[in-house]
Copies of this chain bind each other. A is one copy, B any other.
């Protein structure tokens, strides 16, 4: 960590706070995890994420699209096929999330 980074860190964690508020939404990490193994259709996501309602899945995907973490491709077939993938930005999150998985595994108390 260089001095400029340290200074930025001390000034404001706001972008981190915003990232946490997006990523901390129920199901959001699970959606990113599902898409990290490749493109998925809406129905496939719903099937993998047992218990998620179509309304919630749709809202979470829209939020992730808005932040350009996820991209949606619509194929004009009958019936139309809609596929979701991680963008490059989304892919760049994986490293940080893995660091957080590691940190959490090593440092958080499981009984709580």
Contact = CB atoms under 8 A, between A and B. Distances in A.
B22 A108 contact: yes
Q: How many copies does the complex hold?
A: 2
A101 B9 contact: yes
Nearest to A99: B96
A contact face: mostly helix, strand, loop, or mixed: helix
Contacts of A1: 94-95, 98
B19 A100 contact: yes
A89 interface: yes
Contacts of A18: 104, 108
Given A1-B95, A8-B101, 6 more contacts: A12-B101, A17-B24, A20-B20, A67-B109, A96-B96, A96-B99
